[in-house]
A and B are shown apart, each in its own frame.
Chain A
Amino acid sequence: MNIGPTIKVAFRALRRNRVRSALTSLGIIIGTAAVIAVLSVGQGAAVMIQSQIGSMGSNLLLIFPGSMNNGGVRSGSGGQQSLTVADGETIARECPNIVALSPLIRTGNQVVYGNNNWSTSIQGVTPAFSRVRNWNASSGDYFTEADVRTGARVCLVGATIVTQLFLDENPVGQSIRIRNIPFRVIGVLEPKGTAAWGQDQDDTIVMPWTTVRRVLQHSPFSNVNNLMVSVASADDIATATRTISAILRQSHRLQEGSDDDFTITDMAEIAKTITSVSSLMTLLLSVIASISLLVGGIGIMNIMLVSVTERTREIGIRMAVGARQHDIMLQFLVEALALSLLGGLIGAGLGALAANVVSRVNHWPVLVSVQSIGLALFFSSVIGVFFGFYPAWRAARLNPIDCLRHE
C-alpha cells in the first residue's frame, strides 16, 4: 500500500478524536520538553563551569589556615595565626614549580564616592594577584611591590563598583573613601562575571595587603585568609602540593605524625567535582524525564489498543478488499508514530522555550543544542514505534471474518 494514503488515514483518525489524541500525546510532550530543558540547562551549566575554571586562574592552588582534620572547626578569618605572608614568601622562594603567589586578606566595608556609597568586599593582595587569578586591569594599572611595601592608599575597582558607585563615569584617578580614609583609584579590573557559586566577582576592590592590614584594620599581624598559588602546569600540581606541604610543616615546626595546620585545595579538582555533580544531576533529571517519556509511550500503546478494538470492523473491511497483514500493521504504526512524533515536536518546542526562560530568569547560559532536540525527536519516534508495535501487530493478526462479525 502506498504510504501517502496511509499517512492521510492516520491523521484523519487522529483528528477524529482530537481531545483523545492531544491527551495521549501529552505524556510524550511533557517527557520531551523535560528532556530538552534538562539537557539544555545541564549543558549550559557545564559550559559555565568550564569558563569559571578559566576565570579562576589556571592551575590554582589555595592554601587555607587550619587543618581539614581538626574536627572541621576553623576559627574565623584573622583569628588563625597559622598562615602568614611570610609563609607565602618562604613557599615562593623554595618551591620550584610556582609561577606566581599572592596572599589574600579579605575584609568588607562601606565605600563612599561623592554622594554615593556601596558595600563591597575588599581584597588585600600583592601585584602577583593579577597573574594568579588571571585578572588584568582593563584600564589604569595594578599597584607595585613598592606600594605593598609602603602600604600605599591605592586600589583597583571591579566592574560592578564602576556601575554602582561611579555610575559608569571613569573612576581612574578619582578618590574614594573607606572608613573616612581616602584611597586613590589607579585601575579598573576586567569584568569576570558571576562565579559558579553565585557570587558577583566584579563586586570587589583590590589593594595592597599591607594597606588592608595597617590602614583599614590597624593590625600588626600578617596572617592571611589564604595564599593563592599558581603552578606552572597541571602536571606539576601534585608535586607542588607535596612540596608546599613539606615546606609549611617544616617552617611551622610540626612534629612527625601531628596534623597539618593548613589545607591545600586544588581549584581544578573542585571545578571537576562541581562538573561531575552537575552532570550527575543532569543525568538524574534526564532519567526522570525519560520515565515520563516512557509513561507517554505506554499511554500511546493503551490508546492504540483501544483504537484497534474500536476499528475492528474497519480492519475487517480493509482485509476483505485485499489489505495484507503488513498493510494493517503499517496503518496503526504510522498512527502511533504520528502521535509520538507530534508530541515530540511540540515537546521539543516547549522544552527549548522553558530552557530560554530559565536562562533569562537566572542569567544562566542555556544551550539548546541541535543534538539534544534530534535526540529527543529520535527517542519519541522510537517510543512511538516500540509501543505502537504490539497494538499494530494485534490488528494485523486478526481474522477477516472475525473482524466483520465484530459488533
Chain B
Amino acid sequence: MVIDIQHIRKVYHVGEVDVTALDDVSLSVERGDFVAIMGASGSGKSTLLNILGCLDRPSSGSYRLDDIEVSGMSPDQLANVRSRKLGFIFQNFNLLSRTSALENVELPLLYGKPTGHAARHRKALAMLERVELASRVHHFPGQLSGGQQQRVAIARALVNEPAVILADEPTGNLDSRSSSEIMKLFQEVNAQGLTIIMVTHETDVAGFARRTLQMRDGRFI
C-alpha cells in the first residue's frame, strides 16, 4: 500500500465559522494504481490532494505514505518526503517564470540527493526529451503553449523518480487535444509502475484512469 489515509479530517476556521473541507475520509491506494477523483466544486478534492502531497496537514487522522506515518512530521521532514517520494502537477502549471524549461526541471534536483551540475543537466535534459520537449529546453514558460508548459511541469514532477504523482486538474487549462496528450503521457508512466492520483472535472479525462472515485461534501461516495 503506497498511500493509506484513515479518518482524515480537515477543518478550516474562517472568522467565527468552521468549514469542514474533509470529513472522515479514508483511502488506500496500491502501488501502480491510477486513481481519478471527481466531484462537485468545493467538495474537498484539492484539499485532499494537498494533504496527500504533504503540502498541507490534516486536522486529524492518520496518513501513511510508503508505510511511514507522515502526519506528525516537521516541515523539513515533510520537505524531504516531497523531495524523495512525491511529484506535484498543478492546474496552473506553477513553473518559475523567467527561468528556462531546463532550469525548471532541474529545480527538484537542487533540493534532492546531492548531485553535480553535469548530472543535473543530463537528467533534466533526458526528462524533457521524455515529454517530447527536447527542442524547447531554453524556452521560458511564457514562450511555451499551455500543453507544453504542463509537459515541463510533468518532467519536473518525474525528474526525482517519485513513488506517487499527484495532479490537481492537470488538464483544467488545456484544450481537448493537449488534454489527451497529457493523459497518454500519464498512462505511459503509470504503465511503468508510477502511482498517479488525479483530480478532474472531465469524465473523458477520468476515463484514462484505472478507477474513479466521487467526492461530495468532504467525503467519498
Report A's interface with B, CB cutoff 8 A: 1-2, 4-5, 12, 16, 313-314, 316-327, 399-401, 404
Contact in complex: B96, A322 (CB < 8 Å): no
Name 30 interchain pairs, CB-CB below 8 A, sorted by A. A1-B111, A2-B110, A2-B114, A4-B117, A16-B98, A313-B94, A316-B94, A317-B96, A318-B107, A319-B55, A319-B79, A319-B82, A320-B53, A320-B94, A321-B88, A321-B107, A321-B108, A321-B111, A321-B156, A322-B82, A322-B112, A323-B110, A324-B111, A325-B75, A325-B76, A399-B56, A400-B56, A401-B50, A401-B56, A404-B55
Q: Which residues of B contact A318 (CB under 8 A)?
A: 107, 111
The 8 closest A-B pairs by CB, nearest first: A322-B83, A322-B111, A321-B108, A324-B79, A401-B56, A401-B55, A324-B76, A400-B55
Contact in complex: A322, B79 (CB < 8 Å): yes
Contact in complex: B110, A5 (CB < 8 Å): yes
CA distance A146 to B117 in the complex (A): 90
Chain A contact residues: helix, strand, loop or mixed: helix
Q: Which residues of B contact A401 (CB under 8 A)?
A: 50, 55-56
Q: Which residues of B contact A317 (CB under 8 A)?
A: 94-96, 107
Closest to B81 in A: A322
Q: Which residues of B contact A1 (CB under 8 A)?
A: 110-111
Contact in complex: A324, B88 (CB < 8 Å): no
The one of B53, B79, B156 in contact with A323, judged by C-beta atoms closer than 8 angstroms, is B79
Which residue of B53, B75, B79, B107 has the most chain A CB atoms within 10 A of its CB atom? B79
B80 contacts partner chain A, Cβ-Cβ < 8 Å: yes
Q: Which residues of B contact A314 (CB under 8 A)?
A: 96
Closest to A397 in B: B75
Which residues of B from 70 to 119 have beta carbons under 8 Å from A? Answer: 75-76, 79-80, 82-84, 88, 90, 94-96, 98, 107-108, 110-112, 114, 117
Q: For the complex formed, measure the closest distance between the CB of A397 and the CB atoms of chain B, giving whole angstroms.
A: 8
Q: Which residues of B contact A404 (CB under 8 A)?
A: 55, 90, 94
The one of B98, B117, B160 in contact with A322, judged by C-beta atoms closer than 8 angstroms, is B160
Contact in complex: B83, A321 (CB < 8 Å): yes
In the complex, given contacts A2-B114, A16-B98, A324-B111, what are 20 additional A-B residue pairs having Cβ atoms less than 8 angstroms apart?
A: A4-B117, A5-B110, A313-B94, A314-B96, A316-B94, A317-B95, A317-B96, A318-B111, A321-B83, A321-B160, A322-B160, A323-B110, A324-B80, A326-B76, A327-B110, A327-B111, A399-B56, A401-B50, A401-B55, A404-B55
CA distance A395 to B112 in the complex (A): 20
Report B's interface with A, CB cutoff 8 A: 50, 53, 55-56, 75-76, 79-80, 82-84, 88, 90, 94-96, 98, 107-108, 110-112, 114, 117, 156, 160
CA distance A5 to B109 in the complex (A): 11
CA distance A316 to B79 in the complex (A): 11
Q: Which residues of A contact B83 (CB under 8 A)?
A: 321-322
Contact in complex: A321, B55 (CB < 8 Å): no
The one of B75, B82, B114, B117 in contact with A320, judged by C-beta atoms closer than 8 angstroms, is B82
Closest to B105 in A: A321
Closest to B76 in A: A324
Contact in complex: B90, A321 (CB < 8 Å): no
CA distance A207 to B117 in the complex (A): 82
Q: Which residues of B contact A321 (CB under 8 A)?
A: 82-83, 88, 107-108, 111, 156, 160
Q: For the complex formed, measure the closest distance between the CB of B117 and the CB atoms of chain A, giving whole angstroms.
A: 7
Q: A2-B114, A325-B75, A404-B55 are in contact. Are A320 and B96 (CB under 8 A)?
A: no
Q: Which residues of B contact A4 (CB under 8 A)?
A: 117
CA distance A317 to B96 in the complex (A): 8
Which residue of A322, A326, A399, A401 has the most chain B CB atoms within 10 A of its CB atom? A322
CA distance A333 to B53 in the complex (A): 28
Closest to A326 in B: B76
CA distance A316 to B75 in the complex (A): 13
Q: Which residues of A contact B94 (CB under 8 A)?
A: 313, 316-317, 320, 404
CA distance A317 to B80 in the complex (A): 14
Q: Which residues of B contact A327 (CB under 8 A)?
A: 110-111
Q: A400-B55, A404-B90 are in contact. Are A322 and B108 (CB under 8 A)?
A: yes
Q: Which residues of A contact B156 (CB under 8 A)?
A: 321
Q: For the complex formed, measure the closest distance between the CB of A365 and the CB atoms of chain B, giving whole angstroms.
A: 50
Q: Which residues of A contact B55 (CB under 8 A)?
A: 319-320, 400-401, 404
Q: For the complex formed, measure the closest distance between the CB of B138 and the CB atoms of chain A, giving whole angstroms.
A: 15
Closest to A396 in B: B75
Closest to A403 in B: B55
Which residue of B53, B80, B96, B156 has the most chain A CB atoms within 10 A of its CB atom? B96
Which residue of A318, A320, A326, A399 has the most chain B CB atoms within 10 A of its CB atom? A320
Q: For the complex formed, measure the closest distance between the CB of B172 and the CB atoms of chain A, giving whole angstroms.
A: 15
Q: Which residues of A contact B98 (CB under 8 A)?
A: 12, 16
Closest to B97 in A: A314
CA distance A203 to B55 in the complex (A): 83
Closest to A313 in B: B94
CA distance A104 to B96 in the complex (A): 83
Q: Which residues of B contact A323 (CB under 8 A)?
A: 79, 110-111
